[in-house]
Structure 1
Amino acid sequence: MTYKAGVVGAAGFAGIELVRLLARHPEFELVAATSDALAGTPIAKAYPAFIGVTDLAFSTHEETDLAACDVAFLAVPHKAAMAVAGDLIAAGVTVIDLSADFRLKDPAVYEQWYAPHTAPELLAQAAFGLPELTGDELAAAAERRAAGEAVLVGCAGCYPTATSLAAAPAIRAGLVDAAAPVVADAVSGVTGAGKKATERTHFCFANENMEAYGVGTHRHTPEIEQILGLQGRLVFTPHLAPLNRGLLSTVTLPLALGAAPSTEELVALYRDFYAASPLVSVMDAGVQPRTASVAGTCRAQVGVAVHPAGLIVATGAIDNLGKGAAGQGVQCANIVFGLPETCGLEEIANPV
């Protein structure tokens, strides 16, 4: 059975990556790609990579009949998704949201970091979309959808995905001091900032430059704290690097009193933790992840080592548009629709 899929906000970086994945997905048929700015423009004209792949043109949000879709992927700015998700679900359309609107469980926390939430009634029913760590929520959503209910998934953000995949096995194994700060330093490519150029992301400013931003104030902080149970203990600092795509997070975790694992034991623990996760690879002891090794895919690479200062240093590499956005959205949709979670997802990055 083929499911009809629409992408709202398809002209942006995450949106067009969704178009790329869905255009060749064996079970999802891309029938709508919206962009008010490019309405009427063939996708292949705006993005020539699609020449010979699709004849679909962008359409306006308002004029597109998304109610005819089985699933709608929302690649829109924060605060925009909650304005449309309720109507889509009421029309029987499953919603996979790539924004932050349905990630945080507490509307008060959302308001603190974003704005007042205008659809708080949907938060309780939204499944959190990080399959390796919240598979139970997605499995429950899949059961509800199979029973005829349209469901809502709020996909994890790019920084939270890489950081949480790196840190979760050690935290959940009880190896991390439950009272000490956890430090996450993460570096992202420029596409993570969206399609519209700014003084930070314009080529002339981003090229040959690295900088920290949002120090102590970045909006992904409460999301990471929610995933890892680190409320008030996370020191998260994002950095911008002159890459098109790619994200690397290095997480420093203080060992709990009495915990003294070796690096080899940690690698074994991590491999056991991710044994049922086909899109996560745990590196050998002494080997660290590379963003180039996951670019263009929905894969994640995770490395872990013991530091002699009584710390665990865990690293996670993803493609910020792949596992950090569009690929994760498709992975979640696969699960919700009862498909293999790797269906339609490229698993091998370009080797050079």
Structure 2
Amino acid sequence: MTEGAGIWVLADPRAGTAAQPLGIAERLGVPFRTLPLAWGPLARLPWPWPTLAGLTADTRAGLAPPPGSPWPRLVLSAGRRSVPVARWLGRRGACLVHCMRPGAGAAEFGLLVVGRHDDPAPAANLMPILGACHRMTPARLAEARAAWSALADLPAPRVALLVGGPVRAEGMDPALAAALGARVAGFAGSVIATASRRTGAPATASLSASLAGIPHRLHRWGDPGPNPYAGLLAWADAIVVTGDSVSMLSEALATTAPVFIADPGGLGPRHRRLHASLVAAGQARMLDAAPAPFPRAPLDEAARVAAAIRERGWA
């Protein structure tokens, strides 16, 4: 937001990772500086000490205060690769807040924001959260509701279907995508759906065919024009999310709609723990429980982290 700001956000190239510290920074409500990180080949190494070695030369050159400005007082980061960079800035006087497990140097962070599904070990600087931090605020949802007001013309109940895919596979099984679409179409008045890169073109085509008998809108990965993702969340009467995406699940929980988790196949223990933690907290149910509605309050863990930062006097 502001070049000379005393709060720096280290933004990983992966959107879901960068959204975590950015979401916290935005909820602090004060100016901050975003530093996009570009990784060189050495970023793959598990650096045990503070260093900028994993960054490209251009990124290293830009990792300095603007002329006449001090080093930051607070650095927000996320992901393993940004840890040595954050620690390097910590040696220059910054307080450090990190999202996700840091690995080496955990004690150097003032606050570690880690999902309960990652089963973090107790520590004085640990702040366990449900899911992950993100940028889907009430204000953004309100803006999206206005921007995508045409979705109001679709029959209720409008079910937002957010489709990812297996975490380490080449795409979702087309038969599984078709079954998911048919299941949701069976209880929806209309379906507003989006597919991701992990879904794959064959599964997206199967999903589209399964929705052909019901009013629907489907945003395919790579479609031109504005992405309706926030609009789908804002207008949904219920939300079905494939359980592979921590980000999509967490963003869905920013709404007041009931959230149901679908299994895209190929999930491991970490994702199973995520689902169990959300169900235990009353924030989500598995798709087998749909369409029965259930009450839940919107979840905003980034705002809770921002409040903890302010309480400590870091912002």
Q: Structures share a fold, TM > 0.5?
A: no
Q: So what's the TM-score if we normalise by structure 2? A: 0.36
What TM-score results when the alignment is normalised by the length of structure 1? Answer: 0.33
